[in-house]
Amino acid sequence: MPRFFVGDELGAVKSIRYTPEENNKEWKVESNILVAGGSSGKTKAVQKLALQRDASSVTLLTAVRADGSSSSYRVKEDSSVDVLHEWTEPRLKSGQRYVGLAMSESGIYTCTSNGALRLTKLGADESASTSEAASLPMRLCDWRLSSDGNTFAYGGDEVELSVWDAEQAFTGTETSVPTIAESKKRKRVDQLIPGEIWRAKNVSNDNLNLRQPVHITALTYLETPTSTSHNHLVTGTQLGNVRRYDTRAARRPVSDWKGVGKIGGVSAIEKGLSEHEIFVADHGCNLFALDLRNGRTIYGYQGISGAVSSLAPAPSLLASASQDRFLRLHSTFPPLLKAGQQDKKGAILDKLYVKVIPTAVIWDCSPDIALEKTFSNDEEDEGAADDVWDVMENVHSDNEGDEDTKVRRNAKKSRAT
């Protein structure tokens, strides 16, 4: 059955497992505390979670916290954990936060809002672990690693979307970011920083010929890159726009859908597991599925009373963590083969009150055949019911027969007159 890991404001990490009941309308929830929250308040708040399954299908989980500490765990079958490695990012200052976390075969990547990038490689024991550091531009709001682990992308407040080679980013020293004088020179000639593969260009001026501000609040890769120089990405902005980029086609977005985030701009954006599908949330109470072919809303979810801070897509499901202290489980349906009106709409299947505000949620990436069978059985039952109705004959009631007789009599009278 599907399982999600959830981090909260007090630093706790929980395992939430969902099991559908026999009627397929209600869900049984099993909650286990993997890491207990501390008494130091929000300084230990979990800001990001990342997960990886190794060659032996062992689940490895990493959490980064507001005080700059990071912990990597091995999750056991009994929902307990072994601590593999713990470290602290010394460059994280007060008022800053983690904006990126990812696990790959190369190691564990962490990135902060002030551009402190670190790659931590786990060893056989605590003392054998090593790390490399690099520096990126400041004022970052989001950072993502590609699914193949070869590139990463970031964006932020007056920081355009940028794609880097993950290996070359650590070949230089921590002074890879140029000085102010060098930045001005590079800005004139539009040169890339060493390790940088591609950088977006701001959209055209508005109707008053004024420069439009750059403020990327969320981003994600859309598909596995075919090469380091060819990436498809999508970003969300503080003004609520969702923009799609093709790094081979142009530096400006190939699509710019305005006003998608209704309140406070886009807070979270995730690629769905179906083609042409992304999920977008804003700083209000809005969460919806978007069709990447035309930028239109496929369907939205009703009944959310808090801003969604984190999303975790899974097969046929979506988990969301919101500021109203609920973890919600949503149903999802793939877009139609031809872009247009969607017949099936997503719904909230279950909502779990978690007492402390959840800050991050992630799917455990386990194959779930039983869940797929559950949904397929529903479809088969609906199809069988339709077949039964199709073979039944139409039978008129007595009242309907009397009305038909009256109609025929009135018709005869009118012809006679």
Closest CA to 154 of 170, 168, 139: 139
The predicted structure's pLDDT at residue 345: 84
178 and 269 in a single domain? The answer is yes
181 and 311 in a single domain? The answer is yes
The predicted structure's pLDDT at residue 186: 46
146 and 262 in a single domain? The answer is yes
Q: What would the two tokens of residue 181 be?
A: 């004088």
267 and 376 in a single domain? The answer is no
The predicted structure's pLDDT at residue 289: 95
Q: Summarize the confidence of residues 299-321 as an average pLDDT.
A: 95
Residue numbers of the domain that contains 383: 370-417
386 and 287 in a single domain? The answer is no
The predicted structure's pLDDT at residue 339: 72
Output the average pLDDT for the chain.
85
The predicted structure's pLDDT at residue 215: 98
**Among residues 349, 369, 389, which one ends one of the domains?**
369
Residue 188 pLDDT greater than 50, yes or no: no
Residue 238 pLDDT greater than 70, yes or no: yes
Residue 16 identity (one-letter amino acid): I
**CB contact at 8 A, 217 and 267:** yes
192 and 318 in a single domain? The answer is yes
Percent of the chain exceeding pLDDT 90 equals: 68
CA atoms within 13 A on the CB side of 102: 25
Give the list of residues 6+ apart from residue 57 with CB closer than 8 angstroms, or none.
none
Q: Where residue 229 sits, what CATH number does that domain have?
A: 2.130.10.10
225 and 255 in a single domain? The answer is yes
282 and 409 in a single domain? The answer is no
Residue 411 pLDDT greater than 80, yes or no: no
60 versus 374: the higher-pLDDT residue is 60
267 and 175 in a single domain? The answer is yes
411 and 296 in a single domain? The answer is no
| Per-residue pLDDT tens digits for 31-61 | 999 999 877 788 999 999 999 987 778 899 9
Q: Summarize the confidence of residues 245-255 as an average pLDDT.
A: 95
328 and 382 in a single domain? The answer is no
346 and 410 in a single domain? The answer is no
**β strands within 214-294, DSSP E:** 216-221, 232-237, 242-246, 255-257, 266-271, 277-282, 287-291
Q: Name the pTM for this structure.
A: 0.84
At residue 186, φ and ψ (nearest 5 deg) are: -65, -35
Q: Domain count of the chain? A: 2
SS (H, E, C) 340-353: CCCCCCCCEEEEEE
The predicted structure's pLDDT at residue 54: 79
Using 50, 70 and 90 to split pLDDT, how confident is the model at 234?
A: very high
The predicted structure's pLDDT at residue 402: 52
Residue 373 pLDDT greater than 50, yes or no: no
| Per-residue pLDDT tens digits for 123-153 | 877 677 899 999 999 999 999 999 999 999 9
Q: Summarize the confidence of residues 368-383 as an average pLDDT.
A: 44
